[in-house]
Amino acid sequence: MKLSGLGEFGLIKKLQKKCSNISHDVLYGIGDDAAVVKGTDKKNLITSDMLIEGVHFDLSYTTFSQLGYKFLAVNISDILAMGGDPKYFLISLGIPRDFEAHYIYDMYSGIKKIARKFGVIVIGGDTCTSGFGLVLSGALIGNAKKVITRSGAKAGDGIFITNTLGDSAMGLHLLKKWGKKIHKFSPTTHRLKLIKKHLMPELTPLKSTTKITSMIDVSDGVLADLSHICDESKVGAIIYKDHIPLSRGLEAMAKRLGKDPYEFALKGGEDYSLLFTAPSNYRTDAYKIGEIVKKGRYIVDSNGEKTTFRPEGYEHFR
């Protein structure tokens, strides 16, 4: 059904049903002027992210369900990066008038899929017409007993990363190169795994944040995001290139395409791994990729050669 037939209030009613609240903490959800949640003794975390068609996503690459999944995932990632638990999600949608209603329902299925995984409840939002493409804006509320910022890294700390880097950037590269044809390849290939990493990022929350001194999620590329930690903590960093975790898929595809996998791993965005610092001997499943120093920002390669790095990565407006 076209949204022009369903109308705004019709759509909201449908979405309300799809987001029936299951928590006693949500006193009022979708359907009033604002959502109401119980107060809490913990610190409240709030983040918001906007995804715009043609800038952040291409509807010829992604399904609506994948898009919904990623939309909430990028917001959850921001809350995890502060050491918090994601709780309540508000969705604002700008929707082209000729959209089919089931596009939006499919998107909500994707949102609910990851919401269930992380215990997030969709509590409200706003829908309106967009004169051009689809616009998604989300605000995610979370809470934390201990908040981890970007500013607590100390010289001597180790630098850790929860997941392999560069897969998402390679996935995007493949989508741009082959577009829809990519889906004809066998689903067991590296290609589809890399593409999935781009379309439905894997989030790995930390089990404990007790000894973590600073944290950020890798959205702009690890060099850019580590630079944020250095800026805010007023420290330097050394990364050991051969400690950077690469997936077998990234290595294989980069070789095949004659590309340097480290270009993807160091500068590629949207990995949504957690990058954190902790005492050097910290025991964790995460990969240790370097250490915090007093000054300077260096990459050391396998020959021990040291080069300065700059915060290269994806930046808007440039």
Please state, in angstroms and rounded to a whole number, the distance separating the CA atoms of residues 157 and 212.
Answer: 9
Query: DSSP secondary-structure letter at 2?
Result: B
Nearer to a copy of itself, 88 or 309 (CB): 88
Stretch that binds a copy of itself, among 71-79, 169-177, 204-212, 238-246 (CB under 8 A): 71-79
Which of 19, 64, 73, 142 binds a copy of itself (CB under 8 A)? It is 142
**Cβ 52 vs Cβ 61: under 8 Å:** no
**Near a copy of itself by CB under 8 A, which window of 91-99, 158-166, 182-190, 264-272?**
91-99
54 lines the binding site for a copy of itself (CB under 8 A) = yes
Using CB under 8 A as the criterion, what x/- string covers residues 194-233 for binding a copy of itself?
Answer: ----------------------xx--------------x-
**The CA-based dihedral angle spanning residues 233, 74, 142, 316, taken in that order and rounded to the nearest 10 degrees:** 50
Cα torsion angle, 280, 227, 212, 262, sign = negative
Q: Does the protein bind a copy of itself through residue 61 (CB under 8 A)?
A: no
DSSP letter assigned to residue 124: E
The least CB distance from residue 123 to a copy of itself, in Å, is: 7
Q: Residue 101 is encoded by which pair of tokens?
A: 């209603």
The stretch near a copy of itself (CB under 8 A) out of 50-58, 172-180, 185-193, 239-247 is: 50-58
46 binds a copy of itself (CB under 8 A): yes
Question: Judged by CB under 8 A, which of 130, 189, 204, 284 binds a copy of itself?
Answer: 130
Tell me the angle at which helices 167-178 and 248-257 cross, rounded to the nearest 10 degrees: 40
# binding residues, a copy of itself (CB under 8 A): 77
Contact (Cβ atoms closer than 8 angstroms) between residue 76 and residue 86 = yes
Closest CA to 268 of 168, 193, 192: 168
Nearer to a copy of itself, 151 or 189 (CB): 151
